[in-house]
Amino acid sequence: MRDVQRVAIVDPSDATREALRNVLLGVESIWLEAECARYEFFLEVISQSVPDVAVVSLDSDQAKALQLIAQLTSDLPEVPILAISARGDGQAILQALRNGAREFLTVPIVLEDLLKALQRLQRVRPGGEKGSNGESQAKVESLVIAVLGSRGGVGCTSLAVNLGATLAQDAHHTAALIDLDLALGDADVALDLMADYTLADVALNIDRLDLQFLRRSLSKHESGLSLLPHPVQMEDASLIREDHLQRVIGLLRASYTHLVLDLSKSFSPTDATALRMADLILLVAQLDLTSLRNVVRMMATLTATDGVADKVQIVLNRVGSETDISLTKAEETIGKPIYWQIPNEPKPLMESRNLGKPLLLYAPKCKVQQSIAGLAEAVCGRQLQPAAKEKSNRWGTLFSRR
Ligand SMILES: Nc1ncnc2c1ncn2[C@@H]1O[C@H](COP(=O)(O)OP(=O)(O)OP(=O)(O)O)[C@@H](O)[C@H]1O
Ligand SMILES: [Mg+2]
């Protein structure tokens, strides 16, 4: 669970504004809410979005900047102000602080100093969070769930798509799925979505990513789940770098309550980034030798990366299919308890995949969907509250084979 700080900046100088923008864009916990090139317009701009922090550069016109700080302090006292200047003019700094700025930083900005200042401003934020319309709302929180497989075909995409659709059904959730199986992923097939944009488009435009662009880049499924698919052309998979993904996850985390990441089976650098950024890793296994041996190998590798192994929970898929390996033997081998068991039920899984419909819409009463609904509640730590009960019942009556 993370906090995102929405920051607005005003700086009439294109050069210094650009430099500041680039520093801010590199911080995953920051959402750049607005950029303004005129001191005169800044109050109006931020009166609408009410950011968590307003950054005012003093250098283009010190008198106007100081006057703006005083005006912001009186008109929007809930928005803390960070003043910045390259001049090191003691009088101006003092005046900025007297006029209401809470923090001051010297340009060029050192990232660590910026982070510390933003942290301090967060701590003094009065009376809870504000939404973009200025009304109080719940803290912006997100849960990033990585779905990792222990061999090919173990059930990751089935779990990622159906868990994502189930999470999206809750009235309080906004859920998105990112297909990180960059070459061969099929989350778009499982949801029967022809997306206009893919992860490659987002990566190529990473420097000018904003909330609107990002929202437009995701395709929304009728279940409520949004999807950011893998690139259409296989060769475009190489366009997506770790820093791109880090930024995309950081930003999506700001606008969705739940992010599900369907990882590849290649332990690629982007997979490693996803594992590092995830709050929870569901490692999918089955009761066969290859899968269990790989779980042991993967846990050894994940343990080597700080904090990653602690986030792993084992999900055993296709329980009940023919095997001579017992659950107890599996737990003994892995050295970790099984967190969740999903039953073997090939028919609805195969049919729903072929139709491109999540189980929630195709066979809501089937055993696998019931199990995934339980898993969704377990990861959320509470009972889900479906927003579109009527719709899912109707689909259930019309199409359920169970
Ligand atoms: N619980 C289940 N019961 C029966 N069949 C299942 C179950 N889960 C998945 N399957 C089937 O197993 C096959 C592989 O599933 P899926 O594509 O989700 O795995 P994957 O790990 O994403 O595969 P890949 O390695 O290709 O990415 C599919 O045909 C799916 O219908
Ligand atoms: Mg898959």
Question: What's the whole-number average pLDDT of the chain?
Answer: 87
Q: Which residues of 12-46 are buried (b: 16+ CB within 10 A; e: fewer)?
A: beeebbeebbeebbebbebbbbbbbeebeebbebb
Does the C-beta of 371 come closer than 6 Å to ligand 1? Answer: no
Which residues, chain by chain, have CB under 5 Å from ion ligand 2?
156-157
Does the C-beta of 149 come closer than 6 Å to ligand 1? Answer: yes
Does the C-beta of 376 come closer than 6 Å to ligand 1? Answer: no
Mean pLDDT is lowest, of 104-108, 109-113, 283-287, for 109-113
Round to whole Å and give the CA distance between 135 and 292: 50
Does the C-beta of 344 come closer than 6 Å to ligand 1? Answer: yes
Q: Rounded to the nearest whole angstrom, what is the distance from the C-alpha of residue 110 to the centroid of ligand 1? A: 48
Q: What is the mean pLDDT of residues 46-72?
A: 93
Give the pairing type, strands 226-228 and 219-220: antiparallel
Does the C-beta of 157 come closer than 6 Å to ligand 1? Answer: yes
Q: What is the mean pLDDT of residues 95-115?
A: 88
**pLDDT surpassing 80 at residue 200:** yes
Indicate which atom in ligand 1 lies nearest the CA of residue 353: 31
More confidently predicted of 135 and 207: 207
* Residue identifier of the C-alpha nearest atom 4 of ligand 1: 346
Q: Rounded to the nearest whole angstrom, what is the distance from the C-alpha of residue 286 to the centroid of ligand 2? A: 15
User: Which one of the ligands is nearest to 353 CA?
Assistant: 1
Q: What is the mean pLDDT of residues 204-228?
A: 84
Q: Give 2-12 pLDDT, tens digit per residue.
A: 467 889 999 99
Q: Give 76-98 pLDDT, tens digit per residue.
A: 999 999 999 998 788 888 899 99
Does the C-beta of 195 come closer than 6 Å to ligand 1? Answer: no
Round to whole Å and give the CA distance between 308 and 100: 42
Does the C-beta of 163 come closer than 6 Å to ligand 1? Answer: no
* Residue identifier of the C-alpha nearest atom 23 of ligand 1: 153
Residue 210 — very low, low, confident or very high, per pLDDT cuts 50/70/90? low
Q: What is the mean pLDDT of residues 43-58?
A: 91
Does the C-beta of 230 come closer than 6 Å to ligand 1? Answer: no
**pLDDT surpassing 80 at residue 390:** no
Q: Rounded to the nearest whole angstrom, what is the distance from the C-alpha of residue 308 to the centroid of ligand 2? A: 21
**Is this structure's pTM higher than 0.75?**
no
* Residue-level pLDDT at 126: 42
* Residue identifier of the C-alpha nearest atom 26 of ligand 1: 153
* Residue identifier of the C-alpha nearest atom 29 of ligand 1: 350
Q: What is the mean pLDDT of residues 256-263?
A: 94
* Residue identifier of the C-alpha nearest atom 15 of ligand 1: 155
Indicate which atom in ligand 1 lies nearest the CA of residue 344: 3
**pLDDT surpassing 70 at residue 229:** yes
**pLDDT surpassing 70 at residue 395:** no
* Residue-level pLDDT at 212: 62
